[in-house]
Structure 1
């Protein structure tokens, strides 16, 4: 079997995590490879995500590294066993690898936490809102390409409405609800859709108001924290034009997770339709949304 030319984010992450564990265990590539019955070049290819690794070899390496976190090892085995195929596979020839990696992460994560300050998060968007964004951001795209992108983004919402019911927590800056580049009626329907999505028991939506006492995140780019089987396998997706939008370093994961916790702490209480309407006086996220919808 030949070496991979284009590894997915999942495959790259597995290699990075195996290398991290080897570094923690203090073993060279040659020493680690001998424990698992591999050649040093073969293990090098595995850590570089250029080739696959069977379950037995993953467990042998974990034992050699002294890793006693069974949940972490099971998570690595699951990553190695995954085929990476899903509904997103139908788009391989037309969309970017990052878009496909994002869809795979959404389909496999245990939980998702997202912060947005300019747009409504993609998996909460209505088709009309998404279409308006693409028309404004990519005016030269063909109608076919645009509709395909809208369709893809709608399919991504399966993480919220499909069988897995992934725990989803969004902090959205109030600024995103005031943007007029999608048109007033489109925005109104989008805001109403946010309220409807908040009815789902596994969805939490909070609004960070303009009048928040502080902006606690140390960076301005929107981001998504995808929770893995264990915290060590979390992945952060940063919406920024950098070479790779995915972050997996342990120190960086902790930084983004902490930033999201602080953003949530200063945001308004989440949209909760169980609270009596008269108590929503802009003291929580639903109250602010109602003000935006019905204020003259």
Structure 2
């Protein structure tokens, strides 16, 4: 079997976790490979995500590494055994970047999404009209057919929120996102109303971060999504950047962005509640800000 020339994010992550576990227990590649009948070069290719590892050999390695966390073990086995095929596979010949397909695969397996945006509404909460306006403004050289593909792909990603079971989705959106002028008033109105409807789903929590807060919208400086797995060690941060978005997996970054999201959530208004308590008009919350935004459009 030939080596993978371009491993997916899942394949790279599996290899990185195996290398991390090996390094933590102090084994060399040759010593670790001996436990599973693997040569040092073969194990190196596995740790680089360039080739697969059978389940029996994977479990042998994890035993050698002293990994006794069953949730982590089963998470790694699932990553290894996955074919990586899903609806996103139909877009391999499309103009979409590999990283976007990798993101869709990660979203499909995450048990929770923590999203922060300060310029746009999060992708999984966007209306079709908002998606088209946003992408048309960013992909100015895209042909009509390519634009259709970009919009279609983003709308397909959104289906994860109503899956069985659906992930928990928690978004903090800065008020600035609703004052952007790349969409007309009616599109923005429809987008805001859509957020209220989505907030009716029990797995979706949407908070607005108002202008009147001591927390800078540029802290952190870029939008991000923290994708949580059953095993916290397998969480991933997707940091959005117009030039090159990035997947971050090391524990330092996971802690950094997890803490950042907690701070943002604490500073934001309480979540949108489409069925507020009778006395809700006496307090400031995300629904009241949403109503204000609709009124001023």
TM-score (norm. length: structure 1): 0.96
How far apart, in 1, do the equivalents of 2:283 and 2:158 lie?
28
Q: Identify the range of structure 1 (182-191 vs 159-168) with the bigger mean alpha-carbon deviation.
A: 159-168
The residue that corresponds to 1:67 in the other structure is 67
The residue that corresponds to 2:90 in the other structure is 90
| Distance apart, 1:241 and its partner CA | 4.4
Judge conservation of contact 1:217–1:263 (CA < 8 Å) in 2: no
Judge conservation of contact 1:117–1:176 (CA < 8 Å) in 2: yes
Query: Where does structure 2 lack aligned partners over 5 or more consecutive residues?
Result: none
The residue that corresponds to 1:6 in the other structure is 6
- Cα displacement string for residues 254-284 of structure 1 (whole angstroms, at most 9, x for unaligned residues): 1111110111010000001221366246700
Judge conservation of contact 2:215–2:264 (CA < 8 Å) in 1: no
How far apart, in 1, do the equivalents of 2:238 and 2:271 lie?
23
- Residue 269 (1) aligns with residue 261 (2): no
| Distance apart, 1:213 and its partner CA | 2.3
What value does the CA root-mean-square deviation take over the aligned residues? 1.5
Judge conservation of contact 1:217–1:259 (CA < 8 Å) in 2: no
Query: In structure 1, the residue corresponding to 2:226 is in which secondary structure?
Result: strand
- Cα displacement string for residues 121-151 of structure 1 (whole angstroms, at most 9, x for unaligned residues): 0010001001001121122211110011101
| Change in 2 beyond 3 A, CA 1:118/1:217 | closer
| Change in 2 beyond 3 A, CA 1:289/1:151 | same
TM-score (norm. length: structure 2): 0.96
| Change in 2 beyond 3 A, CA 1:247/1:154 | same
How far apart, in 2, do the equivalents of 1:174 and 1:84 lie?
37
| Change in 2 beyond 3 A, CA 1:163/1:11 | same
The residue that corresponds to 2:220 in the other structure is 219
The residue that corresponds to 1:19 in the other structure is 19
| Distance apart, 1:56 and its partner CA | 1.2
The aligned runs of 1:1-296 (5 Å cut-off) are 1-94=1-94, 95-215=96-216, 218-241=219-242, 245-276=246-277, 279-280=280-281, 283-295=284-296
| Distance apart, 1:178 and its partner CA | 1.1
How far apart, in 1, do the equivalents of 2:16 and 2:276 lie?
46
Judge conservation of contact 1:280–1:286 (CA < 8 Å) in 2: no
| Change in 2 beyond 3 A, CA 1:238/1:2 | same
Query: Where does structure 1 lack aligned partners over 5 or more consecutive residues?
Result: none
Q: Which segments of structure 1 move beyond 4 Å, counting only runs of 4 or more?
A: 241-244
